[in-house]
Structure 1
Amino acid sequence: MANDVWPPPELAPIHDRMAVWSAWWTGEPDELEYVYGGDGVAAVRPPNWPRRRPLNRPSQYRGGIVGALARMFWGRPTPEGELRSKIHMPIASDISVVSANLLFADPLTFKTPHKATTDRLQELQDDGMQATLREAAETASALGGVYLRTSWDKDIADRPWLSVVQPDCAIPTFRYGRLREVMFWTVIEDDGQQTVVRHLETHKPGVIRHQVFVGTPTSLGQLAPLGDFEDTEPFARIVENGDEIPTGIDLLTAGYIPNIRPNRIWRNLPEGVNLGRSDYQGVEAFMDSLDETWTSWMRDIRLGKARILADRAMLESEGRGQGAYLDLDREVFTPVEINPMSGQSLINEIQFSIRVQEHQDTTQALLETIVRSSGYSAQSFGLVADTALTATEVQARKEQSFQTKAHKINYVRPVLAHMNHALLAIEEAAFERRGLRPQPPDIEWAPGITPDPADTAQTVSLLVSARAVSLQTRVEMVHPDWDEPRVLQEVERIKAEEPSPLDQIPAAGAGRPGFSPLGEARPINRDSERAAEPAGSPRT
């Protein structure tokens, strides 16, 4: 591996595309101008590497794909002698924030058959896991996926935790679509010249390998001792077999969460076919046009400032060599000699119109297109007027966002269950915590919209009237977040307080011969009816 080209050349198309998505996510104008500059080598370097380039590039004027990218709004050169006036609207980062909030704004519910294990998972979630998962979700939305890593250090905490690893600093190995091995790499030293020190951390089932290589910006270099560098010195004290740390468990201590699959642009690329796609994929041109629209709008405002052109004779001199000025607060100007037939005015006002409505309509249309194409509802971004809505109406307006959320949960749930299983196993193996039963938990997400209690009560009442719902089902409908033991306890309380409402509701036809409370016809015994009638009673 020494002196190998780094990062591996086969990852260049993936890293280049991630660099474009990263630039939109961060919203930095310098980054956007860099990735659309037309070099085609946008981000094979990690984010902390210095990047230097001239302001304007020859690629801006080339043909083909390189020239097409360079001629996008963010790829156009700034005219000589002018300051950059391009404005970025952070719709990309807004999309990622909404995605993360939909998935992890509310705490998750972990369930296992073993109460002590369930309680421990809840403690781990309260210890910062929820914030980590939200960070991971925002990263996955922007870059197409994210890695979770099980971390532990007895000098820092008495329990393991989950940490986020960026997808553009990882080399995964998949087998039949499942992650089997992954190498994370981090630049720990860079002198800005020709020396770059990288830390490679490889996760395999049962073992984690730590290595340090001293190379150049484009090559991996030579293997070096872990103890020679401050960042890796702690690993040097606990490695076995040269550079490996046994985890004590048979599970992989890392996982990959794709944002959404399939990734259409990498479906035939072996290195990228198992990776997810970004929420920005396919809408980059619309986001570029949105920034162009905002820049044009602000340009109209700048040019629309009122300006006054005055005849030189109207200026007040401040003395020889001191210049002159026009006193606009002066009510009476001194008459000057001017040919009245010339048709010229002494003072002319110039003020360009500001095309507010045109820009606003264009911005609104672009925003709605971007949001819809990313898989979200306009209501989630406040693009629909706020009015008093019921929970059902809000659910309908946000239907597309909730469908996207459900789609993403299908990718998050199995990986998150595996990572929590690994956390429990590490606690048992490395921290010698007893009384746990490491296993993948069942994970439940809170509902995105809380139903209106009045609507729920009305629904339950109608079902009771129709004799179509049991007491336990009613309690579950009113309290969907309760587990089964708590529901059964509530059922017993209700039974103890008062009879079932079903026994108190008179049904239509009650009291008539042949009517059963269950709505079933029963035979009429005429002889018994005659015997019950008083003597001499009239018959019809």
Structure 2
Amino acid sequence: MPLPDNGAVWPPREIAPLYTDIRLDDAWYSGDPRKLAKVYRNGTHHRADGRRRLWSRPRPAGTREHRLHIPLAGEIAQTSADLLFADAPVITVSDTATQDRLDELLDACAVPELLLTAAETAAALSGVFLRVTWDRDAAPDRPLLTAVHPDQAVPEWRFGIMTAVTFWRALPSTTQTVWRHLERHERGVILHGLYEGTDDQLGRRVPLTEHPDTAGLADSLGPEGDAIETGVDLLTAVYVPNIAPNRRHRGAPWGRSDLQGLHDLLDALDEVWSSWLRDIRLARARLIVPDGYLRSRGPGQGADFDEEREVWQTLAIPPTEQGSGITLSQFDIRVEEHRATAEAIVRQATAAAGYSPASVGLDGDGAAVTATEIAARDHRSMVTRGKKARYWRRAVADILRILLSVDRVQFGARTADERPTVDIGDGVAEDPGSTAQTLSLLAQAQAVSTDTKVRILHPDWDDSAISDEVARIHEETGQAVADPVGNFPLLQPG
């Protein structure tokens, strides 16, 4: 399928509902109150159910902004990424030469950092795309692996399989014209197009040389003038859903955001904190004094009260007159009520997102705990992490196979056509003391071999390293010495 025709509506109508959801999730994820106010005032989100939300209320002109935003949405997205990729995944292939080249690419492309960033984006915005391209000026000896946000992509599906995807970006412009660069990935080919249009229409297609950001692509295009042959019979992009299904769009192939269904709770949390801060503002100590305590600044200049003055001369005030002295006005602050309400909202929001309260800092007293205790306390988070890991394990393996294939075809790497194995781990580092105690009990029960103990202690070692370690242990403990009794025949009676 070619690139879109001139004058096409952009973004396409079929994906516009997803973009609308992403725009709202992005406002909460950004932590920017101005962005929240803009999306609620200009969108239909606050009018859909007739509820007037905190950030849809206009601020009166000439007044200070007293609403407070708590960035819980960003913390939830970061928690998701940390659970998945705080520790770099172990990625292996069976061929030695291919493994060496893969290690080079993982380091050069900063894949562990890329996955951490992409996972946070996916948690907030429902998913993310991973894309393989190359730029011989930026990286002359290797292909590139990048992440693309879901609101910059228009995928095409068949039976739940992505068959093509068009990535797009708005280019800088000094006029009212909107320049868009479209990059369409199909099996074995990447098409490029530059469009000059408006906010909601692509407009007309023009040569890539018309804009400086795309002019460098012109020399790489094939004879048809818009395509680059990849030489790889694979789609050079994959989609990673955050988690499925998408509850707002049943049957849709894209994932759902961790923030789906949380917007009212997030708005209520901001309302509670804003009320709490309002109590603090109103509870500031204020002094009410009679006119006689005020010091005149002169004709027409008003008067003020010097709160630092310690001695006042006798004033002509009857001693029986009520309210003749200085009065302190200070209201109570409803600390516990606000704290309990805010904590209840945070608990409900994190649970709805699929995480344990401890994952966002609740229920922890700072004391050291074992890995078993962490797993029990964060059980809900670990279940959610396990679900997401399945999507990421498959997608990372697919995109790294594509990366190796493009590296082999475009850069002459001598590697095998192999799909890597991706081990994301279990997300909980075992406490060394707990591991040692477990191994000691198993050894006392004579229920474990030296080989198994080494494998439990070093799960990331290969068979060769484990065998060498077992041999050293046997040598140091004397288990490698042959049994001397076995060298003599048993004595026969008589």
What is the match of residue 393 of structure 1? 373
Equivalent pairs counted in the alignment come to: 479
Tell me if structure 2 keeps the 8 A contact 1:149–1:253.
yes
> In the alignment, which residue of structure 2 is the partner of 1:106?
87
Counterpart residue number, 1:510:
none
| Structure 1 residue 341, shift from structure 2 partner | 4.8
Q: CA deviation at 1:166?
A: 1.0
Name the structure 2 match of 1:89. Answer: 70
1:423-463 deviation digits (Å, cap 9, x = unpaired): 111111111122x1132100112442222233223322332
CA distance in 2, matches of 1:297, 1:454: 44
Q: Measure, in 2, the Cα distance between the counterparts of 1:218 and 1:165.
A: 21
* 1:38 shift after superposition: 5.6
Q: Partner of 2:123: helix, strand, or coil?
A: helix
Distance 2:100 2:385 in 1: 27
Give the Cα separation in 2 of the matches to 1:308 and 1:266.
58
Q: Distance in 2 between matches of 1:484 and 1:102?
A: 28
Task: Name which of 221, 227, 237 aligns with 1:254.
Answer: 237
After TM superposition, the structure 1 stretch with the greater mean CA deviation from structure 2, 140-149 or 334-343, is 334-343
Which position in structure 1 is the counterpart of 2:442?
463
Aligned-pair CA distance for 1:339: 4.5
> Letter of the aligned partner of 1:151 in structure 2?
T
Instruction: Verify: 1:140 aligned to 2:144, yes or no.
Output: no
Which segments of 5 or more consecutive residues in structure 2 lack a partner in the other structure? 484-490
> Which gives a bigger RCO, structure 1 or 2 (Cα 8 Å, sep 6+)?
2
Match in the other structure for 1:131: 113
8 Å Cα contact 1:38/1:66 also seen in 2:
no
CA distance in 2 between counterparts of 1:499 and 1:471 reads 13
Q: Which residue of 1 aligns with 2:259?
A: 280
Q: Which amino acid is the alignment partner of residue 403 of structure 1?
A: V
Match of 2:197 in 1: 215
Give the Cα–Cα distance (whole angstroms) in 1 for the partners of residues 318 and 440 of structure 2.
91
Distance apart, 1:499 and its partner CA:
4.7
TM-aligned CA deviation for residue 498 of structure 1: 3.7
| Cα displacement string for residues 31-66 of structure 1 (whole angstroms, at most 9, x for unaligned residues) | 1112222633x8xxxxxxxxxxxxxxxxx7xxx626
Task: Please state how far the C-alpha of 1:500 moved relative to its aligned partner.
Answer: 4.4
CA apart distance, 1:14: 1.1
* Structure 1 residue 28 corresponds to structure 2 residue 32: yes
Aligned AA (1:130): P
**How far apart, in 1, do the equivalents of 2:423 and 2:463 lie?**
14
- 2:116 is paired with a residue whose SS is helix
**Pick aligned residue for 2:345 from 327, 347, 366:** 366
Deviates more, 1:253-262 or 1:310-319: 310-319
SS of corresponding position for 2:225: coil
What's the CA shift string for 1:118-143, capped at 9, x where partnerless? 12222222221111111111100100
Q: How does 1:490-505 map to 2 (within 5 A)?
A: 490-500=469-479
Identity %: 42
RMSD (CA atoms): 2.2
Q: Deviations over 1:312-370 (max 9, x none)?
A: 12111122223222122333323333355542323222111111111111121111221
Q: Please tell me the residue identity of whatever aligns with 1:87.
A: L
Write the mapping of 1:235-314 to structure 2, written as runs, cut at 5 A.
235-240=217-222, 241-268=224-251, 273-314=252-293
Task: Name 2:412's counterpart in structure 1.
Answer: 432
Mark the runs of 5 or more structure 1 residues left unpaired by the alignment. 43-59, 505-527, 533-540
Q: What is the TM-score when the length of structure 2 is the normalising length? A: 0.92
Counterpart among 182, 192, 196 of residue 165 in structure 2: 182
The reply to whether residue 118 of structure 1 matches residue 99 of structure 2 is yes
Q: Distance in 2 between matches of 1:379 and 1:418?
A: 34
Change (3 A) 1:154 1:80: closer
C-alpha distance after superposition, 1:3-38 (max 9, x if no partner): 122111222211111111000110111111122226
Which whole-Å CA distance do the structure 1 matches of 2:90 and 2:253 have between them? 28
Query: Following the alignment from structure 2 to structure 1, what is the Cα–Cα distance between the partners of residues 329 and 436?
Result: 65
Q: How far did 1:192 drift?
A: 5.7
Residues of 2 paired with 1:26 and 1:120: CA distance? 37
Output the amino acid matched with 1:308: L
SS at match of 1:88: coil
Do the aligned partners of 2:259 and 2:353 also contact (CA within 8 Å) in 1?
yes
Distance 1:280 1:500 in 2: 58
